Amino acid sequence: MAGGRGERFWPLSRAARPKQFVSLFGGKPLITQAVERLDGFLPPENVIIITSDDLMEQTREACPSLPAANVIGEPFGRDTAAACATATALVEKRGGEGAVAIILTADQIIGDVPVFQQTLREASEIAAGSDVIAIIGVKPTQPATGYGYIEVEEDSTGWKACRTFLRVRRFVEKPTLEVAMEYVASGRFYWNSGMFVWSVRTLKNALREFRPQLLETYERLLPAFDTPGFDAALLAEYNKLERISIDYAVMEHHREIVMAPCEFAWDDVGTWASAADHLVCDEDGNAAHGPVSILRSGGNTVVNTVDGHLVALMDAEDMVVVHTKDATLVCPKASVQKLKDLVKQLPKEHT
């Protein structure tokens, strides 16, 4: 899934070139890295990207190994349930009802790629063999309020591959800080990574029970894939759909979900505060990129993408400063979760 606008990474991320195209981490666009980490696990023809129709060409340029027809452009956003259903319908068209769909996102940073691939392999085997949805959960390192949480059953020893898959009790949307602290202390809660694995048959059964309108869309799109009329069919169907996430539409209702605890390095770099973990830091905890000079300051994140321009910071604590060729952001780290509010009021030419 690569249709997000990355508003919490403004001003580096813009509507016309959002977060998945940012090359700040690892020297390549995040979407390029997402495709490359599947090398040796899936052939390129089995990797499908669901993005916005205005981002299709950029996506194809960033991922030249994929067939052009594998980049699907949504006419407008209908949240993740529509994207997941559309992608799974294409999986069925090409692989049949017994095929397995692995849902990943294009803007995460993942390390330990062999472990990552092995986790997906085992999750796929479980999903192929039963009416179970397999997901990946991340053990919390702090009581973060920017993630959804997954609670697992205390006795979850029934599902084993090479690693133990825990039975999921429930999904919980982004909590308050106090509630998040309780979750972390309990040891039963994991962050929702947004990575899901299901068979075509399992998702169709779930949509039939919980979102029949979306299943109707799925079944009408199925014969249209890889035909000249696909774009028109997609537009007609998306005009009818409600905006809803896959978590609300399916995951919160499905009774058979198992979770593999994440054993590889993972970060969704959701805000400028978390970006500091992937930049060079000095002894005072200042994370910097580009031409930057810092004096008597600590805990800041300073990013400058303009050569020949210097950003200087003095006597500042826990700030975020991001300078691009046409916009500069300055805010406390504590405010970065609310950056979307700022972007909403900006002139269109700067969003």
State the angle between helix axes of 230-238 and 212-221 in degrees (0 to 180), rounded to the nearest 10.
Answer: 170
Whether residue 237 sits in one domain with residue 212: yes
Residue where one domain finishes, among candidates 250, 267, 284: 267
Range of the domain at 157: 7-267
Look at residue 123 and tell me if it is in a domain. yes
Write a three-state SS string for the chain: CECCCCHHHCCCCECCECHHHCCCCCCCCHHHHHHHCCCCCCCHHHCCEEEEHHHHHHHHHHCCCCCHHHEEEECCCCHHHHHHHHHHHHHHHHHCCCCEEEECCCCCEECCHHHHHHHHHHHHHHHHHCCCEEEEEECCCCCCCCCCEEEECCCCCCEECCCEEEEEEEEECCCCHHHHHHHHHHCCEEEEEEEEEEEHHHHHHHHHHHCHHHHHHHHHHHHHCCCCCHHHHHHHHHCCCCCCCHHHHHHCCCCCEEEEECCCCEECCCCHHHHHHHCEECCCCCEEECCEEEECCECCEEEECCCCCCEEEECCECEEEEECCCCEEEEEHHHHHHHHHHHHCCCHHHC
Whether residue 248 sits in one domain with residue 172: yes
Look at residue 67 and tell me if it is in a domain. yes
Whether residue 305 sits in one domain with residue 251: no
Whether residue 234 sits in one domain with residue 339: no
Q: Judge whether 324 and 12 are in contact, CB under 8 Å.
A: yes
Look at residue 105 and tell me if it is in a domain. yes
- Residue with tokens 């495709």, as numbered in its chain: 35
User: CA 210 to CA 199: how far, in whole Å?
Assistant: 17
Distances from the Cα of 28 to the Cαs of 23, 32, 271, in angstroms?
5, 6, 18
Whether residue 159 sits in one domain with residue 65: yes
Whether residue 257 sits in one domain with residue 114: yes
Whether residue 280 sits in one domain with residue 165: no
Look at residue 80 and tell me if it is in a domain. yes
User: CA 253 to CA 39: how far, in whole Å?
Assistant: 33
Look at residue 345 and tell me if it is in a domain. yes
Whether residue 297 sits in one domain with residue 190: no
Whether residue 288 sits in one domain with residue 205: no
Look at residue 45 and tell me if it is in a domain. yes
Residue where one domain finishes, among candidates 219, 238, 267: 267
Look at residue 330 and tell me if it is in a domain. yes
Q: What is the CATH number of the domain that holds 13?
A: 3.90.550.10
User: CA 212 to CA 201: how far, in whole Å?
Assistant: 14
Torsion angle defined by CA atoms of residues 109, 32, 285 and 186, in that order, rounded to the nearest 10 degrees: -10
Q: Judge whether 173 and 183 are in contact, CB under 8 Å.
A: no
Q: How many domains does the chain have?
A: 2
Whether residue 126 sits in one domain with residue 163: yes
Whether residue 115 sits in one domain with residue 14: yes
**Taking the chain (351 residues) in consecutive chunks of 10 residues, what is each chunk's mean pLDDT?**
88 92 91 97 97 96 96 95 97 95 95 96 93 95 90 69 78 91 94 96 97 97 95 96 95 93 91 89 96 97 96 97 96 92 92 92
Looking at residue 163, what is its pLDDT?
59
Look at residue 1 and tell me if it is in a domain. no
Angle at CA 44, nearest 5°, toward 42 and 45?
Answer: 105
User: CA 85 to CA 136: how far, in whole Å?
Assistant: 19
Residue where one domain finishes, among candidates 267, 286, 315: 267
Whether residue 296 sits in one domain with residue 229: no
